[in-house]
Amino acid sequence: MHNTPKAAIAETPMVNEMRLNARQCALALGILLLAVFLTPWLWKRIERFETGSDYRIPYDLSKDYWLYQRRLEDKISPRSIVMLGDSVVWGEYVLPDGTWSHFLNEQSGQADKFVNGGVNGLFPLALEGLVDYYGRALRHRKVILHCNLLWLSSPKADLQIDKEERFNHSRLVPQFFQRIPCYRADANERLSAIVEREFNFTAWVDHLQDAYFGQRSILNWTLEDDGGDPPRYPNSYKDPLAQITFQAPPAPRDDPQRGPKSPRHKPWSENSGIAQFEWVDLDTSLQWGAFRRLIRILRERDDDVFVVLGPFNEHMVAEESRAPYRKLRDGVTAWLQENKVPHLVAEELPSLLYADASHPLTDGYALLAKRTLANEDFQSWLKRP
């Protein structure tokens, strides 16, 4: 067997890199940028996204802001009225055909006139970010904005406490230029949230993870164990590409956690009792400040905004907490009047029609829709061009 001298081996040049000249670097950069900017655009034309009557963003996709943005841009008629808000608008305890928007459409006889634009777990600081960064298609149209005073019911709900608190939709809140005392994300997370807002490609990557990989990165999905002892990793043998069906997951029509057949769909008094609330001051409230800014954003886009305040479940409010609540409610009403914002202070529903402090049950939404449509200010607003 022939042996190569060590000296000859040492002198043999090793090729371990390829250097690109300036033209080749520019070409590679161009291809990369083309992929980054074109991929989300092409994906909208490949992926099927069916909405239909009573559609709402599925619970499991509550943080899929790219899909929310796509819906506003491509799936809503310019003549429709978008209803913005938290899980009260979305319908936490009810099925899609038991929501506020459903009954408004049914009772007005105008199918798809009112669109459920609510997102589960939102609060004013997050809703402001959602509309500002992902709701830019909301221009020159009528918008109903729900005001839920639950987010002002304590310093914790208002995000005022100094102790670190984890909360939903943290990537939508102001990251640097407004201090949120309980938000303690590091600089890397804050910067990544800003990048995601500004670059459609990163929001699209999050959409892939949310829609096809159970809200996990592909790596974490691959390494997910089955909880057994010893643990197994069934996804490690699967092809990740096979998970991508090019079909945005639809909202389930029969959700065991929601609707009249659900064990959760029952009056609040069966689960809890009278509660005390530590209502915050409007002048210092972070959530109320965000709500006011949100109205300004929508108005600057030439949107015609109508605010519905409540109805909050006063039946479960302790006697000593009612006077501060009403003062708070009256303060919000006064601001809306002073700023000429068309609005409705929703009348309290019967006690048995609430599931908790702010969410109606199915019959509660039907009654709320009836009262909304019967309101003269609301009808005048609907008729405005």
* Integer Cα distance of 324 and 307 in angstroms: 21
**Which CATH number fits the domain that encloses residue 189?**
3.40.50.1110
Q: How does residue 324 score in pLDDT terms, banded at 50, 70 and 90?
A: very high
Q: Which of 234-243, 245-254, 371-380 has the highest mean pLDDT?
A: 371-380
Neighbours of 343 (CB within 10 A): 23
Residue 11, in any domain of the structure: no
**Of the given ranges (45-59, 140-154, 205-219, 225-239), which has the lowest mean pLDDT?**
225-239
Residue 4, in any domain of the structure: no
CA 80, chain centre distance (Å): 20
- Please report the beta strands in the chain, taking only residues with DSSP state E, as ranges in sequence order: 81-84, 114-116, 142-147, 304-309, 343-345
* Integer Cα distance of 114 and 70 in angstroms: 18
Comparing C-alpha atoms, which of 92, 86, 115, 93 is closest to residue 102? 115
Residue 107, in any domain of the structure: yes
What angle is formed at CA 159 by the lines to CA 156 and CA 165, rounded to 5 degrees? 75
List all residues 6 or more positions away from 205 whose beta carbon is below 8 Å from its beta carbon: none
Count of CA atoms in the C-beta half-sphere (13 A) of 314: 15
Residue 17, in any domain of the structure: no
Say whether pLDDT at 370 is over 80. Answer: yes
List all residues 6 or more positions away from 206 whose beta carbon is below 8 Å from its beta carbon: 63, 64, 65, 66, 196
* Integer Cα distance of 100 and 360 in angstroms: 9
Residue 9, in any domain of the structure: no
Comparing C-alpha atoms, which of 149, 145, 168 is closest to residue 158? 149
Residue 220, in any domain of the structure: yes
Residue 15, in any domain of the structure: no
Give the residue, 200 or 131, on which the prediction is more confident: 131
Say whether pLDDT at 365 is over 60. Answer: yes
Q: Please compute the mean of the pLDDT values over residues 338-359 and round it to a whole number.
A: 97
3-class DSSP assignment, residue 163 = coil
Residue 218 has a pLDDT of 76
Question: CA end-to-end span of the chain, whole Å?
Answer: 93
Residue 139, in any domain of the structure: yes
36 neighbors 198 (Cβ within 8 angstroms): no
Q: Please compute the mean of the pLDDT values over residues 20-49 and round it to a whole number.
A: 73
What is the residue range of 179's domain? Answer: 28-383
Edge-to-edge strand list for the sheet holding 142-147 = 114-116, 81-84, 142-147, 304-309, 343-345
Estimate the share of the chain in helix, then strand, then coil, as percent rounded to the nearest 5: 45, 5, 45
In the chain, the percentage of residues whose pLDDT exceeds 90 is 67
Neighbours of 168 (CB within 10 A): 16
Residue 281 has a pLDDT of 96
Tally of domains in the chain: 1
List all residues 6 or more positions away from 278 whose beta carbon is below 8 Å from its beta carbon: 153, 154, 155
Classify residue 56 by burial, with Cβ atoms within 10 Å: 0-12, 13-18, 19+: buried
92 neighbors 156 (Cβ within 8 angstroms): no
